[in-house]
Amino acid sequence: MNYRSDIDGLRTIAVFLVILNHAGFSLFSGGYVGVDVFFVISGFLITSIIYPKIVEKNFSIGWFLSRRIKRLMPVLFFIIFIIAIVFSLIMLPQDLVKFYQSIIWVILYAGNFFMWIHHGGYFDGNSQEAPLLHTWSLAVEEQYYFVWPIMLIIAVRLFGVKVTAWLSIFLFVAMTVFSQWGTEVTIGAAYYLLPTRFFELLLGSCVAIFWHKRPKLNEVSHHFISLLGLALIIVSAVALSEHSPFPGYNALYPTVGTALLIYSQYGVVNRFLRTKAMVYSGNISYSLYLWHWPIFTLLRYLSIELSLLIQILAIVLTYVLSVLSYHYIEQPCRKSRINSFSPIAIKFYVVPTVLIVSIALFGIYQKGYESRFDGQTLKMEQALNTHSSDSRKVCHSAFRDYNRKPSEDCIIGERQANSKGVLIIGDSHANHLVPFISELLSTASAWGQDYTLDRCLPIVGLNWGGNLYKAERCRARNEMILRHIRENAFSYVVLAASWPDETTRRMFDDNKQLTSEHEKIAVFQNKLQKTVEEIINSGAVPVLFEDTPTLEGKSPKCPIKQKIYNESLNCDINLKTNEFISKAFRIVKSIYPETIIIRPSELYCKEGSCSMSLNNIPLYRDDDHLNVVGAKELAKQYLNHHSNFIR
C-alpha cells in the first residue's frame, strides 16, 4: 500500500487527545481514547504490510521483528534510561523499587500486566505517579504483533484467503462482545490486557484485509464519512470520562471513527490531516507519547500544581524533547543499514536490555537507595505502604471471588468460650477498617472475623452495583453473609463501606434499573432496615461505620512530600457529609436504638477540614483507603475519647 500521509496526521489527533487528557484539561475527560485510535492505526498498517506477504508465502518472522525492534526500541530504551536517572534522585525508596521493577516488565513487553497487578485501575490515584504507566499500550500492541501474524499464517494455510477474511470479521464481533463482558466483570484487567483490547487492533486489520474489495466512494461520500469519523473520535474524547465503562462497547466510538477516517482517504478531514504540521507531529507522535507521561508524573510527584502555565510549558517541553529524540534517535536507528535479524536484535535489544535491567536490579537490591532519606521519612513511607487488602488476602475477595466462603483463617484474636465475637462485613472500605477493629478487640479480650468483598455493600437483598451482573452477585454474597450470621453467635456485626449517595452506581429492583432518586432512597432505606433487623434477631448488635473522607485527587504521600519537598504544601482535605447515608443511619437508629454508629471523621476532622496524618503518621494509602498503621492510630485516638463499644 502506498504511503498515507493523512494517517500520520491522524496520529497527531490521537497523541494530543492523550496529552491534553493527561495534562488535566477537563474538556477532554475522555482523551484517553487517543490510545484506541493508535490501536486501529497499528492494526491497519501492520496487516497491510504482512498480509500480502503471508498470502504470497514469503513472510519472514525475523524480517518483521527486525522492523519492529528498529522502530520501537531505541527511543524507548533512551527515555527509560533518562527518566530512571531523574526519578532515582527524587522518588521515595519503595516507589523507586516499584519503578525499577516496572522497567524490567516493560522491556519484556509485559508492562500491561505489571500495571494491572501493581497499580490497579488506570485512573486510580497511585497509578498517576507511575512513570511508565503509559507503556501498557505498547505492551498490548507488541503482544498483538506476536499473536496476529501467527493467527493469519495458520488461517490462510488451513482455510484459504477468502475464509480467513470472513473469519477475521467474525472474530472482531466475538472479541467486541467479549470486551464488553470483561469490562462489566472487571475493571483493571479489561483496561490493560490484550484480550479485551484485541478487537480494536483487529478492526484496523479487517479494514486492511478488505481494502482492495472496499466499495468505491464519490467525493461527497468521502467528505461525509471523514467528518463522521472525526466527530465520533472527538465526541467520545469529550463525552467519556474516567467513570465511563471502558473499553467494551464505548470503545467502538473512537475505533469506528478511526476506521472511517482511514476509509475516507480523500475526504475533507483527510485533506486537513495531510497538512505539513499535522504530518510532522504525527511522525514524532511515538516520541510525544513516550515523553509526555513521565513529565507530568514528575510534576505530580513533586506536588507542582498543574496551572495553565505549567500545563502549557510541560506540553512545549514534551514537543521539544520529542523533536530531538525523533531526529537523533528514532530516524538514525530506523535508517540503520543493519538488516539481519540477529545483529539487529543484539545491538538494538539485547545489549541495552542487559544494561538497563542491570541498573534496575541494582536499584532493587539497594532497596531504592534508602540512605537518601532520614529515619522519620522512611517510617512514614513504610506506614503509607501497609495495605490491609494485602495482609488480609484470604479474607478480602476480589469481585470475581464473590462466592468464597468465610474462612477460619480470618479469625482475629483467640476464639474462646463466652468471649465476644465481632464480624466485619462490607467492601474494601470495611477491609481497611480491620486494623481499627483489631485494636479494639485486643483491648476487650474479644475475637473477630473479617469477610469483605470489593464493591459490594453489606445490605441484604439490595441489588446494587455497576451493572445487573455485579448487583446480582453482590446480592448472592450478602445472602451467604446472612446465613453465616445466623449460624454463629456474634456479639457485634460491623457494617462499613464506600457508602453511595442517591446518584452513585446503579440500583435494581426486579431486574429493572431504578432511575428515580425517590425510589432509590426508599429501596435503600428499606433494605438497610431489614439488614439491621436480621442482625438484631440473630442476637448481635449492629455497628454502622460512616465512610472516611476521600482525598479528592490529593496524593496520600502529601504529608511526606510536605516534609521533604515543600513545607507550604496544603495537606488538609475537605470534609463532605454524605447526607443520604447520615439520614439513613439516623432513621435506623431511631427504629433500633441499640444500633451503634461510628464516625471515623470525628477523629481527625475539625470544622470541615481533615488532616491526612495523625501524630506524624500518614493515614491513607490511596485516594480513599486507610493504611494499616494509620487505621490503628485512629483506633488509639478513638479509645482516647470514647469507651470501647465491644466491652
pLDDT one-digit tens code per residue, 572-585: 999 888 888 999 99
> Between 251 and 464, whose confidence is greater?
251
427-440: average pLDDT: 95
Residues forming beta bridges with residue 495, ordered by sequence position: 425, 544
pLDDT one-digit tens code per residue, 310-323: 999 999 999 999 99
pLDDT at 510 over 70: no
pLDDT one-digit tens code per residue, 380-400: 999 999 988 888 888 998 888
pLDDT at 214 over 90: no
Give how far Cα 276 sits from Cα of 38, 282, 402, Å: 20, 10, 55
Residues 304 and 443 in one domain: no
Segment among 338-347, 421-430, 506-515 with least mean pLDDT:
506-515
pLDDT one-digit tens code per residue, 28-62: 999 999 999 999 999 999 999 999 999 998 888 88
pLDDT band at residue 514, thresholds of 50, 70 and 90? confident
The whole-number pLDDT of residue 505 equals: 60
pLDDT band at residue 6, thresholds of 50, 70 and 90? very high
Is residue 641 a part of any domain in this protein? no
Residues 419 and 288 in one domain: no
604-632: average pLDDT: 92
Is residue 343 a part of any domain in this protein? yes
Give how far Cα 22 sits from Cα of 133, 191, 423, Å: 12, 16, 42
C-alpha cell at 163: 475464509
Average pLDDT value for the chain: 92
**CA atoms of 317 and 191, how far apart (whole Å):** 29
CATH of residue 460? 3.40.50.1110
**CA atoms of 403 and 406, how far apart (whole Å):** 9
The whole-number pLDDT of residue 518 equals: 79
pLDDT band at residue 122, thresholds of 50, 70 and 90? confident
Residues 314 and 455 in one domain: no
pLDDT band at residue 355, thresholds of 50, 70 and 90? very high
One-letter-per-residue 3-state SS of 87-137: HHHHCCHHHHHHHHHHHHHHHCCCHHHHHHHHHCCCCCHHHHHCCCHHHHH
Residues 136 and 10 in one domain: yes
pLDDT at 401 over 90: no
Is residue 628 a part of any domain in this protein? no
Is residue 84 a part of any domain in this protein? yes
pLDDT at 174 over 90: yes
Residue keyed to cell 467486541:
176
Counting the structural domains of the chain, the total is 2
The whole-number pLDDT of residue 238 equals: 96
281-297: average pLDDT: 97
617-636: average pLDDT: 94
Global pTM reads 0.90
pLDDT at 211 over 70: yes
Residues 328 and 394 in one domain: no
Is residue 376 a part of any domain in this protein? no
Range of the domain at 437: 387-549+576-603
Residues 357 and 483 in one domain: no
